Amino acid sequence: MAPASSLPDLPRSRTHPFHPPPEYEQLRKESPISRFLWPNGVEGWLVTGYSEVRTLLADPRLSINRFNSPPPSVSVVKDRKPEAMLPRSLVAMDPPEHTPWRRAIVKEMTPRWARSMEPRIAAITHEYLDRIREAGQPADLVTDLALPVPSRVICEVLGVPAADQAFFQEQAEVRSQVGAPPEKVNAATTALYEYLGQLVADKRRTGNREDVLGRLVHAEIAGEPAPQDIVVGQAMLLLIAGHETTANMIGLGVATLMDNRELIADLADTAKGTALVEEILRMHAIIQWGIIRRATDDIDVNGVRIAKGDWVVCSLSSANRDESRYSCPHLVDPGQPQAPHLTFGYGVHQCAGQSLARTEVRVVLRELFATFPELRITVPVEELRYRYEMWVYGLYECPVVW
């Protein structure tokens, strides 16, 4: 048993499903970098201020590498067996190792490319909207639209056959459950890993360079041929990161617009729709507890000392509500002067798929409300089931009629 901690427990109860725990407000004002005991018994810093989060995420002394020890977590499974070895990917690499991999991946997903994807995303969206109309009311937008559209898109981009997407959804869901039995998580990880290993090997063997995975497996990284196991790791990251996050953002976007119906019209215009989606993204930093780093050296910042080896969790959801940056931090107001939100993180790991995600959220919401202008959720948004205990926040279901 570790000695009992004298630190306060991490505040983590929401009072409204759209807002982070109310304690964050006082923390931002009084101690934007402070230490807490996390539910799994690990101590770690919680960073809640906008400028503090940015400063620390840009600091090269904070590593994304976990050095094989358990990070702060909201999972209460304390004696967790070691997780199945995850293949390495961008989110386990610091610069300089990170840099060439990052470039090989982001060059596939530039803002210009994301714009060119708009018609394809709209076409996929309409396939699912047609099915929803045919199946009749009510529909669950999470399973019938928000999950399958980003899944189809990322599968096509990477070069994963669409026929396998149900399998992916299932495995990704298991992996992201806080408190899921470790055996289940390990089985899901292994299943995904084996599938992708096969796919990547096929692309290498057949010389396929027609999709992102095909190009990645034939790429040179820092002057060497890309090792196949790391390509599989990156593939796994792209699939998981590119699917569930966007799906949850779409669900929360619909819920948010229920209370702000006058904003729906903005979606029809690209510039206004883009600004609206930025506000929806700001309101919902769905990596809800924040992103985790580890100090590789002592860091003196704002009068506190983060010691070498300490865990640091940067709260994106708190930073996005910082009163010193936003005039109405808790309201959706596309007109307010915008400080860039931190929902996609900050620093060299800032989301590689952000341009695609922005386009997907905007196009799916636009086509949804263009097709069903009277769409509404069947219960008040406060009564929906939210993913409180999941690492990626969102809705479990979104029952709608039109």
Partner 1 sequence: MPRVIVDENRCCGAGLCAQELPDVFDQGEDAVVVVLEENPPAELAERLEAVTFACPSGAIRLVRE
Pick the binder of partner 1 from 225, 309, 340, 373 (CB under 8 A): 340
DSSP H helix total and E strand total for the chain: 15, 12
Q: Do residues 25 and 48 lie in contact, with contact meaning Cβ atoms separated by under 8 Å?
A: no
Distance CA(398)–CA(255), nearest Å, equals 8
Cis peptide before 71 (omega within 30 of 0): no
Pick the binder of ligand HEM from 254, 353, 364, 395 (CB under 6 A): 353
Nearer CB in complex with partner 1: 352/375: 352
SS3 call for 208? coil
Beta bridge partners of 195: none
What angle do the packed helices 270-283 and 354-371 form, to 10 degrees? 110
Restricting to residues 280-309, name those near partner 1 by CB under 8 A: none
Strand 43-47 versus strand 311-314 pairing type: parallel
Could you give the string, one character per residue 313-352, with x where binding to ligand HEM holds by CB under 6 A and - elsewhere? ------------------------------xxx---x-xx
To partner 1, the closest distance from the beta carbon of 105 in angstroms equals: 9
Beta-carbon contacts of residue 319 (< 8 Å; ≥ 6 apart):
47, 48, 49, 50, 53, 54, 285, 341, 342
Is residue 154 at the binding interface for ligand HEM, with CB under 6 A as the rule? yes
Is residue 226 at the binding interface for ligand HEM, with CB under 6 A as the rule? no
91 binds, among ligand HEM, partner 1, none (CB under 5 to 8 A by kind): ligand HEM
**Torsion angle (degrees, nearest 10) of CA 184, 188, 194, 199:** 170
Q: Do residues 377 and 384 lie in contact, with contact meaning Cβ atoms separated by under 8 Å?
A: yes
Strand 376-377 versus strand 399-401 pairing type: antiparallel
Nearer CB in complex with partner 1: 25/108: 108
Q: In terms of C-beta density within 10 A (0-12 exposed, 13-18 middle, 19 or more buried), how is residue 327 classed?
A: exposed
Could you give the string, one character per residue 99-138, with x where binding to partner 1 holds by CB under 8 A and - elsewhere? x--xxx-xx--xxx--------------------------
Pick the binder of ligand HEM from 46, 90, 196, 398 (CB under 6 A): 90
107 binds, among ligand HEM, partner 1, none (CB under 5 to 8 A by kind): partner 1
To ligand HEM, the closest distance from the beta carbon of 376 in angstroms equals: 23
Q: Which amino acid is at 397?
A: E
Pick the binder of ligand HEM from 200, 283, 291, 364 (CB under 6 A): 291
Contact footprint for ligand HEM (CB under 6 A): 64, 90-91, 102, 154, 237-238, 241-242, 245-246, 249, 286-287, 291, 343-345, 349, 351-353, 356-357
Contact footprint for partner 1 (CB under 8 A): 58, 99, 102-104, 106-107, 110-112, 339-340, 345-352, 354-355
